[in-house]
Structures are given as C-alpha cells and as structure tokens.
C-alpha cells in the first residue's frame, strides 16, 4: 500500500519542457516585455548580495577560529616591571541620624 504513494510518477519532479514554456508565458503576461529585464536585474542583485553576505560570514568565522587558535597557543607574557597593588581598599560611610 505504501509503495503506491512512493511511485516516482506521483511525486513532484522538475517541470518538463511544456511546463517551462507555460511558466515563461505566464511570466511574460504578468510582467510584460519591458519589465522582465528589470525583474532579472533585481534577482541578480539579490543573488549577488546573498553570496557576498555568505562569504562575509564565512570569512568572519574563519578569522574568529584563527584568532582563537592564536590566543590558546600563546602563553601570557609577564614582565618583571608589573607591580600588583595588594593594599586593601576600606570605605566607611557615616550613619545618618535617625529621629524617632
């Protein structure tokens, strides 16, 4: 019974030649001949911006991984001129007079 639903003829597939022709005809009717170049130009810009953003994110991730490797592999450098102030800081506050 399940094999009936899994037949390739019943599943959605890529459009054939006649379907592509029908799709292009409908697009031509909706947008007209003058609007199609503008539509394609907009789609091209969108794809280009998407690819640029994808490459930017990939570069940032790789830079972060390289930076983490440098920080992990480099031991901290302590110079003898560094002095640590060990005097405790004590602050006192005066109690406000209470009138009861």
Model pLDDT, residue 13:
73
pTM: 0.43
Whether residue 37 lies inside any domain: the answer is yes
Whether residue 48 lies inside any domain: the answer is yes
Question: Domain range holding 55?
Answer: 32-76
The domain tally of the chain equals 1
Whether residue 42 lies inside any domain: the answer is yes
Whether residue 54 lies inside any domain: the answer is yes
Model pLDDT, residue 8:
57
Mean pLDDT, each 10-residue run in order, the chain (100 residues): 55 79 88 84 95 95 79 61 58 61
Q: Assign 3-class secondary structure to the chain.
A: CHHHHCCCCCCCCCCCHHHHHHHHHHHHHHHHHHHHHHHHHHHHHHHHHHHHHHHHHHHHHHHHHHHHHHHHHCCCCCCCCCCCCCCCCCCCCCCCCCCC
């Amino acid at each position: 019974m399940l094999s009936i639903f899994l037949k390739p003829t019943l599943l959605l597939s890529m459009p054939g030649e006649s379907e592509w022709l029908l799709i292009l005809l409908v697009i031509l009717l909706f947008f007209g001949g003058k609007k199609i170049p503008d539509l394609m130009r907009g789609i091209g810009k969108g794809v280009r911006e998407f690819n640029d953003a994808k490459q930017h994110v990939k570069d940032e991730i790789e830079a972060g991984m390289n930076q983490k490797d440098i920080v992990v592999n480099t031991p901290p450098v302590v110079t003898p001129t560094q002095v640590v102030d060990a005097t405790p800081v004590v602050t006192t506050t005066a109690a406000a007079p209470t009138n009861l």
